[in-house]
A and B are shown apart, each in its own frame.
Chain A
Amino acid sequence: MGSLLSRLGLECGAKEVKEEERNIRANDREYNLSYKYANNAIKTSKYNIFTFLPLNLFEQFQRLANAYFLFLLCLQLIPDISSLSWFTTVVPLVLVLAMTMAKDGSDDINRHRCDRQVNNRKVEVLIDGELRSEKWMNVQVGDIIKLQNNQFVTADLLLLSSSEPLNLVYIETAELDGETNLKVKQGLTVTGELEDSIEKLASFDGQVRCEPPNNRLDKFTGCLSLDGAMYSLDNEKILLRGCTLRNTQWCFGLVLFGGPDTKLMQNCGKTTFKRTSIDRLMNVLVLSIFGFLAIMCLILAIGNGIWEYQEGATFAAFLPKPEGVNPPFSAFLTFWSYVIILNTVVPISLYVSVEIIRLGNSFYIDWDRKMYYPKNDTPAQARTTTLNEELGQIKYIFSDKTGTLTQNIMTFNKCSINGKSYGELLDFAGQRLEINEKTERVDFSWNKLADPKFWFHDHSLVEVVRGGNPKAHDFFRLLALCHTVMPEEKKEGELYYQAQSPDEGALVTAARNFGFVFRSRTPESITVVEMGKLVTYELLAVLDFNNVRKRMSVIVRSPDGRLTLYCKGADTIIFERLHPSSKNVMEATTQHLNEYAGDGLRTLALAYKDIDLNYMEDWKKRHHEASTGMEQREEKLDALYEEIEKGLLLLGATAVEDKLQDGVPQTIEQLAKADIKIWVLTGDKQETAENIGYSCNMLREEMTEVFIVAGNTAEEVRVELQNARRKMRPDGPEEPTVRMSRNGLFCLLKKETMEDEPVNGEYAMVINGHSLAYALEKDMQKELLRTACMCQTVICCRVTPLQKAQVVELVKKYKQAITLAIGDGANDVSMIKAAHIGVGISGQEGMQAVLSSDYSFAQFRYLQRLLLVHGRWSYLRMCKFLRYFFYKNFTFTLVHFWYGFFCGFSAQTVYDEWFITLYNLVYTALPVLGLSLFDQDVNDRWSFQYPQLYAPGQLNQYFSKKAFIYTVLHSGYSSLVLFFIPWAAMYDTVRDDGKDIVDYQSFALLAQTCLLIAVNIQLGLDTYYWTAVNQFFLWGSLSVYFAVTFTMYSNGMFLIFTSSFPFIGAARNSLNQPNMWLTILITSILCVVPVVAYRFLRILLWPTINDKVRHKMRQEKAVLPAAPRRIQPRRISTRRSGYAFSHAQGYGDLVTSGRFLRRTPRSRGIVFSHTDSPLAQAKPQLYRTIVEGEEPPQIP
């Protein structure tokens, strides 16, 4: 606890000296302690027992509303001003503070618990020459610790030695950056020699000088001095806290940064706070309400001044004025008195209620079974509970492709071998059968090494392969040999492939199941089990893939000495290089390829060629020369490759399905109907992105035109954009219409809004990252936005994470529309954070996107439920709540205003003080909560049936400044009725026994009862969906009102608390009078009759979409017409993906270099630079490539 307290000072910014350089001596605690570096204990909690109350209160009073109420409380303590007892403010304030405090407190207790759990983790620390198990929090900077496999890294460590060769360790950085693929770190050779010898480690006295703590995960600078020699340290040698050690038995590390100084902790706590547009509107409204309040108070104060001047002075005989109070001063005091009384126009409970409603609506998202994905047991999660209503206002969706629209699972779907197509199931009549879960699968049990997760449905292919068809064998042999996949065989027979792209993985897996099992590789050889027989091929060359070549080849020597080149690549490229003898096969294959492309499959053509031994010798020599030469290496190599990849014999083609997630096209169609624009931002290459665009129905054949923007210079891009725009809108103006407006607090924010422009026909735009970089430049971004917004669909391919965020920002800036970004990978984080609402796809891999998202769920298709159901309801509820809440409080308050004219503007309240205290907190709190938690205009099925219902949210129709003014006028009317009807009805009247009834207390009771009943009827009118809970809340609150009123006005309460309950008897004496009740009846009816009439006529004359659907729903008594089954049309198209392998350059270089596989000489380790090596560019990953958009466009 002591250390926690001492750290508190540090956290408050009282760090005395800024650390400039860190100086650590290994195994020398005393030396290191002299620098007072933080130890490894972390503290994410904010408070402790003693600081909780003051700190929390301090934080809470920084909020405007709370501070305002504190100010009111102070005003109330001035006797000359106080027009209300102190409890009217204290009770709500304390309640609100207590609720917030309870929430903060429980949050902090959780953090404390978390901290304690982390701090008490055990790790082995080398102390006094022996390894001791210590708690994490006791680890000091300069300690040497030992990590075991699968342990979390305790602190930021300098890697000393490890169990693996070359001092390598493998770590997983999922907690840091969300990437689950393994990364390699390598220690210095000199420290690696320490190995696991305790003596050597204990006597290790290296001294480290390094950078001070910072939050840059990718950079480290420092140096180690050992025995007089200096070794430079970089990020390669550092293990960061938050990583996990994998595939490494043990490693030793020197603690450099502990606890709060670690890069993980330095990166924490900088969450950007998102606010909804309703929030901003609310702030503006609250401010204008303050203005309104001031005006009302001013009017009343002036009234008071005049009254005092005209009447007060003469009435002073009975109402003596205090010393020195003249009319102006009295007016001044009255102003403040009325500020107190009329404060209810800015109710403190507003913010609390809004939070409660959002929380409730967030829970509905968490609880929704229809957004729960049973396959990986992932429910939807509202990670932010403050953005709900914005879900009902989305105008633009920015979606990632891989893993979001697609499952990121590639399946080997069809193939064409030697002019014959396989993979399609035909029935007896020759019709295509639909393949689904129930279709019988091909049995691969004859193949011990088959991957059980691989499905195939066409039995004929297996028969052909098992029948020994040489072409089929060559086909799969090619697939087993020509790739850069890394095998991993943890147990005998259990193979795992680490592929650079999922397509490659799918192809190699297909080969594996059809009996050509890629087993292992060395830099010089590839071992394959061919139909159960182990065959080792000598690998002579890998002609790697790149974007220009669009193909890759391997040259292998089979055991019988035959030299073969196997090549796979884009069909167009391969077809150019075929031997004329392949013409027939080529024709048949072309037809198949067209069919495959029509199904949205990603295709590759396969070819091979036998090579003459002598030619090979020569070629190899030249290849060696070229690859070691310094000049024009790339060009020379390309020429060599070109030379040998000629005269190929076509084997066939593969078709890999980039599987869309379930329901993606339907979801996109639904969202499009809801007038939400969907932009796909992907790191994939253009062909792939287009292909997915077609298969998920965003691009359609019947579209008028699909513009492709792929210019290489700024001018080209501009011209392409302009041409596209002119084509879409030939008569449009050259300059976009930009509406300038000012907004925000005091209109300080300048806003530019670009108007939507109508176009005829449906257009789509595909723009690549290179062009996007130009288009996002300042002078062209409006052109881009204008053109893009005219299109139905926009697909940006090959974009970098930064560009994704830029696109989102661009739309946010000029469209003033609510944006949503959805993605699953680390590369989507920037756009998720930039958009108003970020959605993460969870349960796939990598938590980074989810961690920075506001909502997460497992499947893209849940997005429609999130928006069209939850978002719409949340928005509807929030707007209804706000409208009603302002209505009820304005009505409540304005009655005071009218009464001012009958009490000499003396700030006399109309109601009992207790009523004022309890009105918002008790009498009207629950019904309005019930409304805003349960209300639904139409149920979820109807919401889906009519996605148009979503439109009002986008247009801000339910709550805006206009709606607010309407509400104020409405409550003005109600307050007039609520004051003047009782006033006139009670004027000069008496009870039925002749006694007094127009006394202040009876009038107050009458006014407050009328008010409460009127606002409750209004609530009833606003409620569309009367659940039992709503009924209970409404009737309960009314009963509670009467019960509480009778109790407070009872004899007992007066006898016990004489001065607090002066209203004794008022309820009994007035509520037994028929004219009281008749007054209540007419007042409340008169309040609502115009509203009912107006709404009824409006529904008849100007029905909204909402009214129409509700009407229809009622007519059909909730018999929803069954949604028509959507049949995915088979696309007849000549478009097809050129080369399925997307993303980065392959790592054939790495495969052959052997660095990855072989124990290299020690000296290599030092030049092994992570950032430059192909390893960094092409991390072996399981079916996932995080590094999208490898080539950042060069912007001149």
Chain B
Amino acid sequence: MPKKELETANRPDNTAFTQQRLPAWQPILSAGIVIPGFVLIGLAFIGIGVALFLTSRNITVLEMDYTGVETTSDCYKCSAGTLPNCVCNLYFTLNETFPGTVYFYYGLSNYFQSYRKFGASRDDNQLSGDTYYFTSPLAVCTPYQYDVNNNPIVPCGISANSMFNDTFNLYQLVNGSKTVPLDGRGIAWWSDYNIKFRNPTSDPLRNAFNGTVKPPFWSKPVFELDLTDKSNNGFLNQDFLVWMRRAALPNFRKLYRRITGPDYASGLPPGNYTIEIAYNYPVMSFNGRKKVVLSNVSWMGGKNDFLGVAYLVVGSLCIVMSMVMLIVYAKFKFPDDV
């Protein structure tokens, strides 16, 4: 109690906050934290790096260009794009078993799906089965919004129009050729297949597309993409979904099929194989490249040595830095005088 009765109406509150006395943790970059920290991070990173590197090394990848640039290539004949329905073959030999589930990818290089216009030119409303947008697609789809007769294009836009349309068949050459079964189900993201893309609710499906036209580059309308399997038709066609998941970089690969079948589900046995390619997609004009990639996967996904190497490098750098810091610390300590 104050001895004198002082008027203290304006006295500020005495709280830790107003007086800036909030309890606080005040770490500083002391040698005791930094040097062991660097060592620990270094060791951990080297560990992770080794694991990643070994894992990546164990992943088998077989990558084959089939653009047909070289005249020796079987696909050279198709690369000019003059032959309709050109089919070419790509032969390869496996000396060892290609282990695990083998995934069949197609790859494109120098292909700018990442171009802003490319990604933007699509209509998600249309693709989610909203038939209002069948009659009037979004303007971003230009120049594939309406055709010359002013019919709406479904699916509209550059993305859809440019859909990759080479098809592949894989044969093992044993006593003639034995078809390696390729499974195209479930190759797209679950969320794309179940949520993002919906077919319009009409039976038969084609009714919903009355008054619309197919994208100009397409050979058949979207509702005829897979007439054998209803669940793989229309906007839900897995190849279409995979294509519409736009790549971030100009060189990319996309999943085409999974290799299944009783003989191949656990790996491709050694032997000679051929890939029969229906060569439709022109890339030569813009100096693009097409390839097929066979790969198995691990817990860290596909083959990528970089991450493992990066961890090893960063980890080693941390160790080296900790040494340097230790030396400097031992030499200079900290001046106690202020």
Question: Which residues of A approach B to under 8 Å, CB–CB?
Answer: 79, 83, 311, 314-315, 317-320, 322, 337, 363-364, 366-370, 372, 374-375, 377-379, 873, 902-904, 906-908, 934, 936, 939-940, 946, 981, 983-1004, 1024-1030, 1051, 1054-1055, 1058-1059, 1062, 1064-1065, 1068-1069, 1073-1075, 1078-1079, 1082, 1085-1086, 1089, 1092-1093, 1095-1097, 1099-1101, 1103, 1105, 1108-1112, 1114-1115
List B245-302 residues whose CB lies under 8 Å from chain A.
245-255, 258, 282, 285-287, 295, 297-302
Min distance, Cβ A497 to any Cβ of chain B, angstroms? 26
**What 7 pairs across the A-B complex have the smallest Cβ distances?**
A1065-B191, A1003-B248, A367-B18, A314-B286, A990-B302, A906-B116, A994-B103
Is B22 among interface residues, defined by CB-CB distance under 8 A? yes
Instruction: Judge whether A997 and B301 touch: CB under 8 Å.
Output: yes
Sample of 7 further A-B pairs with CB below 8 A, known A1001-B245, A1058-B130, A1101-B328: A319-B112, A377-B10, A985-B304, A1000-B247, A1062-B124, A1078-B300, A1108-B335
| Stretch among B66-74, B172-180, B227-235, B306-314 lining the A interface | B306-314
Min distance, Cβ A859 to any Cβ of chain B, angstroms? 15
Instruction: Judge whether B307 and A994 touch: CB under 8 Å.
Output: no
Instruction: Judge whether A1103 and B335 touch: CB under 8 Å.
Output: yes
Indicate which residue in B20, B158, B245, B333 contacts A318 across the interface (CB closer than 8 Å).
Answer: B158
> Which of B111, B248, B303 is the most central at the interface, judged by chain A CB atoms within 10 Å of its CB?
B248
Instruction: Judge whether B18 and A1082 touch: CB under 8 Å.
Output: no
Indicate which residue in A319, A320, A377, A1004 contacts B248 across the interface (CB closer than 8 Å).
Answer: A1004
Q: Do A993 and B297 form a contact, CB below 8 Å, given A318-B158, A377-B9? A: yes
Measured in the bound complex, the distance between the Cα atoms of B18 and A372 in whole Å is: 13
Instruction: Judge whether B125 and A1064 touch: CB under 8 Å.
Output: no
Instruction: Judge whether B25 and A1058 touch: CB under 8 Å.
Output: no
Min distance, Cβ A1106 to any Cβ of chain B, angstroms? 10
Instruction: Judge whether A1058 and B304 touch: CB under 8 Å.
Output: no
A-B contact list, 13 entries, CB within 8 Å: A317-B285, A368-B12, A370-B19, A378-B10, A902-B114, A981-B310, A1065-B190, A1089-B317, A1089-B318, A1092-B34, A1095-B29, A1096-B34, A1101-B328
Min distance, Cβ B17 to any Cβ of chain A, angstroms? 8
Is B91 among interface residues, defined by CB-CB distance under 8 A? no
Measured in the bound complex, the distance between the Cα atoms of B207 and A390 in whole Å is: 73
Is B150 among interface residues, defined by CB-CB distance under 8 A? no
Is B115 among interface residues, defined by CB-CB distance under 8 A? yes
Indicate which residue in A311, A903, A1103 contacts B334 across the interface (CB closer than 8 Å).
Answer: A1103
Is B170 among interface residues, defined by CB-CB distance under 8 A? no
Measured in the bound complex, the distance between the Cα atoms of B328 and A1097 in whole Å is: 8
Question: For residue B42, which residue of chain A has the nearest CB?
Answer: A1089
Q: Do A1027 and B23 form a contact, CB below 8 Å, given A1069-B189, A1100-B334? A: yes
Instruction: Judge whether B314 and A374 touch: CB under 8 Å.
Output: no
Instruction: Judge whether A999 and B334 touch: CB under 8 Å.
Output: no
Is B143 among interface residues, defined by CB-CB distance under 8 A? yes
List A contacts of B195 (CB < 8 A).
1051, 1054-1055, 1064-1065
Instruction: Judge whether A1000 and B307 touch: CB under 8 Å.
Output: no
List B324-338 residues whose CB lies under 8 Å from chain A.
324-325, 328-329, 332-338
* B residues contacting the other copy or chain, number (CB 8 A): 108
Question: For residue B41, which residue of chain A has the nearest CB?
Answer: A1085
List A contacts of B6 (CB < 8 A).
374-375, 377
Question: For residue B61, which residue of chain A has the nearest CB?
Answer: A988
Indicate which residue in A940, A1089, A1112 contacts B314 across the interface (CB closer than 8 Å).
Answer: A1089
Is B321 among interface residues, defined by CB-CB distance under 8 A? yes
Measured in the bound complex, the distance between the Cα atoms of B16 and A934 in whole Å is: 11
Question: For residue B161, which residue of chain A has the nearest CB?
Answer: A318
List A contacts of B335 (CB < 8 A).
1103, 1108
Indicate which residue in B24, B103, B139, B286 contacts A317 across the interface (CB closer than 8 Å).
Answer: B286
Question: Which residues of B approach A to under 8 Å, CB–CB?
Answer: 6-14, 18-31, 34, 37-38, 41, 45, 48, 52, 101, 103, 105, 107, 110-119, 124-125, 128, 130, 138-139, 142-143, 158, 161-162, 187-192, 195-196, 242, 245-255, 258, 282, 285-287, 295, 297-304, 306-307, 310-311, 314, 317-318, 321, 324-325, 328-329, 332-338
Measured in the bound complex, the distance between the Cα atoms of B299 and A1051 in whole Å is: 27
Instruction: Judge whether A994 and B255 touch: CB under 8 Å.
Output: yes
Question: For residue A1060, which residue of chain B has the nearest CB?
Answer: B124
Indicate which residue in B18, B247, B254, B334 contacts A364 across the interface (CB closer than 8 Å).
Answer: B18
List B contacts of A873 (CB < 8 A).
20
Measured in the bound complex, the distance between the Cα atoms of B49 and A370 in whole Å is: 55
List A contacts of B258 (CB < 8 A).
994
Instruction: Judge whether B336 and A1112 touch: CB under 8 Å.
Output: yes
Indicate which residue in B20, B251, B255, B303 contacts A995 across the interface (CB closer than 8 Å).
Answer: B255
> Which of B37, B48, B116, B317 is the most central at the interface, judged by chain A CB atoms within 10 Å of its CB?
B116
List A contacts of B324 (CB < 8 A).
1097
Indicate which residue in A367, A988, A1108 contacts B302 across the interface (CB closer than 8 Å).
Answer: A988
Instruction: Judge whether B242 and A996 touch: CB under 8 Å.
Output: yes
Indicate which residue in A372, A992, A1001 contacts B298 across the interface (CB closer than 8 Å).
Answer: A992
Instruction: Judge whether B192 and A1065 touch: CB under 8 Å.
Output: yes
Instruction: Judge whether B118 and A379 touch: CB under 8 Å.
Output: no
Measured in the bound complex, the distance between the Cα atoms of B249 and A1004 in whole Å is: 11
Instruction: Judge whether A1089 and B321 touch: CB under 8 Å.
Output: yes
Instruction: Judge whether B11 and A374 touch: CB under 8 Å.
Output: yes
List B contacts of A1110 (CB < 8 A).
28
List A contacts of B18 (CB < 8 A).
363-364, 367-369
Instruction: Judge whether A364 and B20 touch: CB under 8 Å.
Output: yes
Min distance, Cβ B163 to any Cβ of chain A, angstroms? 10
List A contacts of B19 (CB < 8 A).
367-370
Instruction: Judge whether B114 and A1000 touch: CB under 8 Å.
Output: yes
List B contacts of A1100 (CB < 8 A).
31, 325, 328-329, 332-334
Instruction: Judge whether A903 and B112 touch: CB under 8 Å.
Output: yes
Min distance, Cβ A268 to any Cβ of chain B, angstroms? 26
Q: Do A1082 and B314 form a contact, CB below 8 Å, given A374-B8, A902-B250, A1097-B325? A: yes
Q: Do A314 and B307 form a contact, CB below 8 Å, given A998-B252, A1100-B329? A: no
Instruction: Judge whether B251 and A1026 touch: CB under 8 Å.
Output: no
List A contacts of B302 (CB < 8 A).
988-990, 994
Instruction: Judge whether B328 and A311 touch: CB under 8 Å.
Output: no
Measured in the bound complex, the distance between the Cα atoms of B119 and A97 in whole Å is: 33
List B contacts of A1078 (CB < 8 A).
48, 52, 300, 307, 311
Instruction: Judge whether B191 and A1069 touch: CB under 8 Å.
Output: yes
Instruction: Judge whether A369 and B14 touch: CB under 8 Å.
Output: yes
Indicate which residue in B12, B45, B52, B314 contacts A379 across the interface (CB closer than 8 Å).
Answer: B12
List B contacts of A997 (CB < 8 A).
301
Q: Do A1027 and B24 form a contact, CB below 8 Å, given A319-B118, A903-B114? A: yes
Q: Do A1028 and B22 form a contact, CB below 8 Å, given A322-B143, A987-B304, A990-B297? A: yes
Measured in the bound complex, the distance between the Cα atoms of B125 and A1092 in whole Å is: 48
Question: For residue A990, which residue of chain B has the nearest CB?
Answer: B302
Q: Do A1000 and B325 form a contact, CB below 8 Å, given A317-B286, A319-B158, A1059-B125? A: no
Indicate which residue in A985, A988, A1002, A1003 contacts B253 across the interface (CB closer than 8 Å).
Answer: A988
List B contacts of A311 (CB < 8 A).
110, 112, 286-287
Indicate which residue in A375, A989, A1055, A1103 contacts B301 across the interface (CB closer than 8 Å).
Answer: A989
Q: Do A985 and B191 form a contact, CB below 8 Å, given A368-B12, A1086-B314? A: no
Min distance, Cβ B201 to any Cβ of chain A, angstroms? 15
List B contacts of A1024 (CB < 8 A).
26, 28
Question: For residue B332, which residue of chain A has the nearest CB?
Answer: A1100
Indicate which residue in B21, B124, B187, B191 contacts A1051 across the interface (CB closer than 8 Å).
Answer: B191
Indicate which residue in B31, B142, B252 contacts A322 across the interface (CB closer than 8 Å).
Answer: B142
Min distance, Cβ A977 to any Cβ of chain B, angstroms? 10
Q: Do A318 and B162 form a contact, CB below 8 Å, given A994-B255, A1000-B246? A: yes
List B contacts of A991 (CB < 8 A).
297, 301
Instruction: Judge whether B12 and A998 touch: CB under 8 Å.
Output: no
Measured in the bound complex, the distance between the Cα atoms of B196 and A1055 in whole Å is: 8
Instruction: Judge whether A1025 and B26 touch: CB under 8 Å.
Output: yes
> Which of B19, B112, B192, B299 is the most central at the interface, judged by chain A CB atoms within 10 Å of its CB?
B112
Question: For residue A988, which residue of chain B has the nearest CB?
Answer: B253
